[in-house]
Amino acid sequence: MSSEKSKATTTLPGKVEKVIQPHPKSGEPEKAQIAVEGADHLYREIRVPNTLVDDNGQKVKLKEGAEVDVTIEADPGNAAVAADDSSQTQRRKPA
């Protein structure tokens, strides 16, 4: 077992809206624009290099329309305990 503390994480669903080809002389990599569900409207799209590695170690790329998971990780020292929001769920009554 590792003595290292595990990171705090959250995973949000997303969808590849488009694949962006770089300008030929820019030297920039191809990018995938991903819409992250649950993010604020003005901040829901992120653009990341479209370079992934599969289980076999082969380089692969995302396709437009692909459903993805966006995972955010933080070291334990960079995350605070959240306020208990169970009171909101307890007040809801079945319809």
Residue tagged 């169970």 (tokens): 86
pLDDT at 50: 98
Phi, psi of 91 (to 5 degrees): -75, -20
* pLDDT tens, residue order, the chain (95 aa): 454 679 999 999 999 999 999 998 999 999 999 999 999 999 999 999 999 999 999 999 999 999 999 999 999 899 898 887 654 444 444 44
pLDDT at 91: 44
One-letter amino acid of 48: V
pLDDT at 8: 94
Radius of gyration of the chain (CA): 18
Phi, psi of 62 (to 5 degrees): -75, 145
